[in-house]
Amino acid sequence: MTDGSDRTRVKSVETALDVIEYIHRERSATIGEVADALGIGKSTAHRHLTTLHDRRYVTREDDRYRLSLRFLTFGGRTVYELPAREMIERKVEQLCDETGERAQFVIEEHGERVYAYTHAGPNAVRTDAAVGKRGPLHVSAAGKAILAHLPVERREALITEVSDDASLGARRVREELAAVRERGYAFNDEESTTGLRAVGVPVACPDGRVLGAISVSGPANRLTGAYFREEIPVLLLGAVNEIELNLKYR
């Protein structure tokens, strides 16, 4: 290595991952674009893309490379094998039917929230909630529900991490999470997107670890008053209760 030789990682693998991530960001790329963007030789980019293409991690149409659906294949199975997946999907859909809004099941990974399953009811607003989409935990109802139930060390680590830039103070976050734990559900009152509200409830494994969270989200003009503050939470708690039973006695 040029300098601080890091013998614990494989540099050319990191380059390959850089290539993958660049294509992901840009949707598609040519060899030259990759080489320029990553500051590597064109021949190097060529070799990496050829490797990824031979192994079917990228597709090629004319001279543009894109990520293949192999990523979906890998990721899809991870989700498919979640405990109680089938029941969770059914409950998410049921919540959509009952509320007409959008519902989703969210998982925590690497300190982020990831949408594992989403469904839209008949009146659902358009959001960009897509399967696999990631975002910070502390600005979403489902994310807060999960965050509140993470083990203390992990929770604290994440809180201090986000409080730096968010600047709304670790204290306020801690207070809100304590409230979430107490009442059993979390709200998102236009914090991430103006006009969008949501309620989230954590789903716990029998061993107490949090598996993820279910949330229902909709426009602020429909989600108001007791419907938002009480009725939807009750619906969610009922659904989660069934899921947790399923997890226990499966």
Q: Give contact residues for a second copy (rule: CB under 8 A).
A: 7-10, 12-17, 20, 24, 27, 46-48, 50-52, 54-57, 59, 66-81, 107, 109-110, 114-116, 130-134
Give whichever of 46 and 90 is closer to DNA, judged by the CB atom: 46
Note the helical H segments in 139-204.
141-148, 152-166, 170-183
DSSP string across 26-47: HS-B-HHHHHHHHT--HHHHHH
| 194 lines the binding site for DNA (CB under 7 A) | no
Selected from 17, 24, 42, 69, the binder of DNA by CB under 7 A is: 42
Residue 10's Cα: distance from chain center in Å? 28
54 is an interface residue for DNA by CB under 7 A:
no
Nearer to a second copy, 180 or 210 (CB): 210
Of residues 65 through 94, those in contact with DNA by CB under 7 A are 65
Q: Identify each DSSP E strand in 128-195 by its residue range.
A: 134-136, 186-189
Residue with structure tokens 């009952």? 98
Minimal distance, residue 7 CB to DNA, in Å: 6
Q: Does 17 bind DNA (CB under 7 A)?
A: no
Q: Is 2 in the site for DNA (CB under 7 A)?
A: yes
Choose the stretch contacting DNA; rule: CB under 7 A; options: 27-35, 78-86, 163-171, 215-223.
Answer: 27-35
Tell whether residue 192 is a contact of DNA (CB under 7 A): no
Q: How far apart are CA 32 and CA 21, in angstroms?
A: 16
Q: Among residue numbers 195 through 234, which ones bind DNA (CB under 7 A)?
A: none
Determine, following the binding rule CB under 7 A, whether residue 55 of this chain makes contact with DNA: no
Q: Is position 8 an interface residue for DNA (rule: CB under 7 A)?
A: yes
Which residue's CB is nearer to a second copy, number 84 or number 180?
84
d(CA 142, CA 92): 13
Token output for 43: 């021949």
Closest residue by Cα to residue 198 from 177, 181, 180, 219? 219
- In whole angstroms, the minimum distance from the beta carbon of 61 to a second copy comes to 10
Radius of gyration of the chain (CA): 21
Q: Give the nearer residue to a second copy in terms of CB position, either 27 or 250.
A: 27
In total, the chain counts a number of residues equal to: 250
| Cβ proximity of 193 and 128 under 8 Å | no
Interaction between residue 47 and DNA (CB under 7 A): yes
Q: Are 143 and 116 in contact (CB under 8 A)?
A: no
Please name the residue that has the structure tokens 């696999």: 132
Site residues for DNA per CB under 7 A: 1-2, 5, 7-12, 15, 30-33, 39-44, 46-50, 63, 65
